[in-house]
Each structure stands twice: as structure tokens, then as C-alpha cells.
Amino acid sequence: MKFALQATLSFGLLALCLATSPVRWCTTSAEEQAKCTKLQQQCFGPQQSKDLPAFSCVRKTDPHDCIRAIKDTEADAFSIDGGLIFDASLMPYNLKPVVAEVYASGSGETIASYYAVAVVKKGKVSSLSDLRGKKSCHTGFGKSAGWNGPIGILLLKRLIEWAGAEIEPLEKAVARFFSAACVPGVKNEPDLCRLCKGKCDWNDPYAGYSGALECLLNGGGDVAFVKDATVLALSPEERSKLELLCDDDTKKPIEEYRNCFLARMSAHAVVARSVDGRADEIWALLSYALEQSSKHGQQACQLFGSPQGSPKDLLFKDSAVNLIKIPDLVDAFIYLGSQYYSAIQNLRRETPIADPTATEKIVLCAVGYVAVAVAKKKDVDITWNTLNGKKSCHTGVDRTAGWIVPMGLICGATNCSCKFDKFFSESCAPGSPPDSSFCKLCKGSGGEGGLSQKYKCKPNSNEIYNGYNGCFRCLLEAGDVAFVKHTTITDNTEGQNKPAWAGSYTPNDFVLLNVNGERCQYNEHERCGLANVPTHGVVTRPEIASRVRNVLLKQQIKFGSHGTDKDAFQMFHSDAKDSLFKDGTACLATPKEKTYQEYLGEQYMNSLEGFKKCLTSELLKACNFITDNL
């Protein structure tokens, strides 16, 4: 009893400590620590709402030290640029962006992105190709606008010659290209520190956006790699003495940065741990500070801007005007975008990446199936137009033939409110909430005991009505209509191995329901199907699509259904059902369609359009965030 009481008290104290521990902001300089402390005292002092966590500041030596501190729970958050977001997302850190900075664009809009630009003095450099042997100014090693963007472009254009990290560090190749540089934070490459005014560390006077520009203007540099806001902040007279280098080897005035940039980058973002990262608490504090700043001015809660005479961009970029919460599902890859993420990976590759070409002959497969609505022939009153109030069987929630296609068509035709449980009287749609009408027809494992109830309506094989065959069984035993694929009827009613539950049924005992109200023969799916649906497909990023395709097609030659080494390994068969590929896969084929809309087809896209307003996908929220803000 005593032990139990002590344990209870101990856990209670632990919970209390965790609940009241402050959100710790990581700083990397004395000036940042001073601003953070002022923010703690003036904005997050005793006067703040008791519903908010406390706020404190933790001093570390540099951004990578902060990343380690957050991983080790010595700190909780700080704001960094895209290159560091990439670093922070890797093992063993596993941090993720949780809040994005927002900037004012030249047109007055606010956006969570910026343009990386190459700035030169007028008449001094003719093009990007003319940069060899020049002196360069960078915001910092591994930074988006100051390193990853421009160096990635110069590598892509083959202006910088590099054999890969296995042969030599990238920094050495860059040092050969420029005659001198200032790259704050770089290690073991003196030529990349020759232009720096201080120690070539993260606090060098030429570090950051304003530092890199100062390096160009007064430090002997020929080019500065910064962002659009850095040069737009200059006076018209100062801007008139500068120009931009475009990636097509032309030049343009500063004001035309939208048509002359190296890359468009996602905004700096606050990062936190992916697990137990306190993202909601971090956002609660920052949104409180924004609210107080809006009400009482920057003197109350100065998140943005730096004191006169101090270094720029303390805690947040000086050009930031707002913050926006990033959806939970957005990780570093989604936030940075596939192109930029891949560009950083290419900067760090071990060896140059060849693009293999498959020269072997590949046997192409027919792809796709038809989603159909099936009813028993004897139920003559059931048509597509009389389904309201009937009992329905579905392969599973969010499954294509069993859910998205039929529910999308129903929703589009009836202008539904997404309350599908009001359309059918009873259903089995595995994956639905257990207490909903969409689980009433489900049977679990099929028995009468508690174990059967435990598995009822689960979206797996423990529910006997799950999947195509289970859905068809539901029609035979309990339902009025089943939404399956066109082969399901014959799969279960023909041949020597048809299941016992199918009894004496034959294909002719069933009809297909056409959306025009017609009842069709079981084999008229081409005319009476709900939608042509493509098979499962491999998806990847555009910039590596050909590489992935070639690797898979080559592996299929060895390990496919008719592969030369299929006895050693089989791509399309597994002990666990549908591992990597569907077990029924015959082969992989290159689709003729080039876009996802073409691949999915007009019928499927129409049903999806009708269903779109009912989707609650976290991934959709993440994609909308990227589309709307970056």
C-alpha cells in the first residue's frame, strides 16, 4: 500500500512538472538571448493568461547546437531556415516545422515563402556563368538562399565541377570555383572564409542576409546570395546600383526579382520534436504574443525586428510580419517541397547519380478494373434510383470501389450533407465508427461471443465482411446492394474453389445497377459500371520518377511473376497479405497517362469531385496549407 501511494505521488508530481514546465526557446547569441529574455519579461510575465505555459530562454552556441538541445529535451523550439530544417529533420534529431514565418511580398500580399536571388553591382558580373573566379558572399553554410539554392544551381548548370562527397567535400569544389568567399559556419576550408570580417562563424558580421549584402557592398565581394526582401529594403538610389543574375544567364533590375531568381524557398519555420514536441503549447504562446503585439504595439511583445545597432534577424527574421500554424501532418519534406529537398540531398550525395535506362523488353499488363453496384436478381425493386433506405455493403471506408466511387456519385446526385448514414438504413462499411449505422450489418469474426464483437467493423480480415469478397458475402447474407469490382461476382460463384458461404449461387443470380436506373446482366460492366478505376500505382516525386520506374522494371525482370530469379524472391507474393504490392499483381507497366487526372480517369474524378467536400484527410489539410501559403 505504501509503495502504491509513493508511486501514485511520484507519477502525480511528474505529471505536474510536465504540465507546468516552461516552453524553452533556444538562442544562439548574446543578442538573441537578450531579446528572448525581454520577451519573457514583458510579454510572458505574470500578467499572461494562466491557461498558457511559462516561457524561458536557453542559450546555445549555434543552430546545430540548438537542434541537438531540442532533440535531447534541453530546449523546445527555435526558428531556422530551410537548409537547417532539412538537417533537423534527419536522424537522430527527427524535428519538424510547426510554425511558419509570414512575409509581406512586393505586391502587398503576405506569403510564407521568399525568393533566393544573386545580387551583383551593376556592370561588374555579366551572368551566372561569369561567376568563376569571382568573390562570393553567402548568408551561411547550408543556408537556403545563401548556399543550397545558389550552389545547387551552379552544380546543375555544371559550372561547379564536383565528383561527389566520396571523392572530396563539396566545399573544396566551391572553393576552387570562387577566388575567395565568406561562408559563415563552414569548416576546414580557409578560402571560403577569406572575405569574412570576423571568425567565419555563425555570428560573423557578414553572416545572415544583411551581413552577406554588406559583404558585397563594402567587403570586397562580387556577388551576394540573399533573398528578395534583403535588397528590396534598400533605398531606390541604392537599388539602382545593383542588379540580379537570372538562372537563364541574363540580368534584370532588382524590382524584377519575380522573373529573375535562383529558387523559391519556404519561409523560415519554428521547429520542434516530432514526438512530444509541444507544438500546441508553442503555438499558444506565439499566437498570444501576436495578439498582444497587435493590441499594445511592439513594445509589449516584440517578436519581429531587432533593436537599433544590434545584429539583424534575432529569434525571427526582421522581415517577418506574422506567423502561421503548420498542420500536424506537414513534415520537413512536405514543407520544403520535393524539388528543394532533393536539391539538398544532391548537394550531399556520396557519388554522382546516374539515371539508369531499362533496355530489356518489358511485357505490358492491362491495368484497371470497373467499380460496380451489385444486387440480387430476385430483388426486382432495387435499382440505383431506389437505394435510399436500403441496406448496403461496402469493401471499407475510403476504399475506391466500395466507398469513394459510390458515395461520391450519390453525394453528387443528391447534393448530400455528407451524412451518409441517413441515406442507407443499415450498412457494413469496415472502418466506420463502431456505434454508427455503417457497422450494424458487420459480423466481426462471425461467431456469437465477445471475440466476434471485438473485431466487428474492423477494416481488416478479422471482419468477415471486409474487402471485396467479404462485401459480396454481406450482400448474400444481409444486404441489398454491394459495391465491389467487376470480377467479384465470378470470383466467388464460379470454379472449383468458390467459398462455402456462396452456396449454390451462380453469376446469373446477380445484376449490376446502372446510374441511369437500368438493371444489367452481371457481365455488362463496361456499359453499366460506376467508374473505370486504375489499379494501384507507384507514386513518387517528379524529379526521380524515371529513376524509380527503371529500378522497378529492372527488378521485375528478375523477381516478377515470370522473373529469372523468382524462386529466390517474388515481388508480388508475400506471407503477409498485399505487402509492397497487391498479391494479385501480374506485372508492373508504365502508364501512358502523364498526370494523375488522366490516370484516374474522368468517371473516377467526377465521383471524387462529388465526394471531396466530405473528405477529412489530414493530408488534404497539409496540401491545402502548402498551396495556399507557400
Q: Residue range 378-392: average pLDDT?
A: 96
If one compares 295 and 401, the residue with the highest pLDDT of the two is: 401
Model confidence pLDDT, tens digit, residues 411-439: 877 776 677 778 999 999 999 999 999 99
- Angle made by CA atoms 251, 255, 258, in degrees to the nearest 5: 75
Q: Is residue 209 marked as binding?
A: yes
Q: Is residue 536 marked as binding?
A: yes
Q: Is residue 381 marked as binding?
A: no
CATH topology of domain 113-265: D-Maltodextrin-Binding Protein; domain 2 (3.40.190)
All three cell numbers of 339, joined, read 524539388
Strand partners, 104: 110
Assign 3-state DSSP to the chain and report helix, strand, coil percentages, each to 5. 40, 15, 45
Q: Is residue 584 marked as binding?
A: no
What is the pLDDT of the chain when averaged over all its residues? 86
Domain 23-109+267-347 has CATH 2.30.110.10: no
Split at pLDDT 50, 70, 90, the class of 1 is very low
In this predicted structure, what is the pLDDT of residue 104? Answer: 85
Q: Does residue 199 carry a pLDDT above 80?
A: yes
Q: Is residue 143 marked as binding?
A: yes
Q: How far apart are CA 305 and CA 489, in angstroms?
A: 68
All three cell numbers of 138, joined, read 553567402
Q: Is residue 594 marked as binding?
A: no
Q: Is residue 268 marked as binding?
A: yes
* Domain spanning 369-533: CATH superfamily: Periplasmic binding protein-like II (3.40.190.10)
Residues of the chain with CATH 3.40.190.10: 23-109+267-347, 113-265, 369-533
Q: Is residue 335 marked as binding?
A: no
Q: Is residue 115 marked as binding?
A: no
| Dihedral angle of Cα 170, 184, 218, 237, to the nearest 10 degrees | 90
Q: Is residue 402 marked as binding?
A: yes
If one compares 592 and 21, the residue with the highest pLDDT of the two is: 21
Place of cell 467479404: 470
Q: Residue range 254-266: average pLDDT?
A: 92
All three cell numbers of 570, joined, read 517474388
Whole-prediction pTM? 0.61
Q: Is residue 138 marked as binding?
A: no
In this predicted structure, what is the pLDDT of residue 615? Answer: 64
In this predicted structure, what is the pLDDT of residue 568? Answer: 85
Element (H, E) at 528: helix 525-528
Helix (H, G, I), strand (E, B) or coil at 335: helix
Q: Is residue 419 marked as binding?
A: no
In this predicted structure, what is the pLDDT of residue 125? Answer: 96
Q: Is residue 395 marked as binding?
A: yes
Q: How far apart are CA 624 and CA 630, in angstroms?
A: 10
**Do 80 and 269 contact (CB within 8 A), yes or no?**
yes
Q: Is residue 454 marked as binding?
A: no
All three cell numbers of 86, joined, read 532539412
Model confidence pLDDT, tens digit, residues 11-58: 343 333 444 689 999 999 999 999 999 999 888 876 566 678 999 999
Q: Residue range 223-245: average pLDDT?
A: 95
**Do 401 and 484 contact (CB within 8 A), yes or no?**
yes
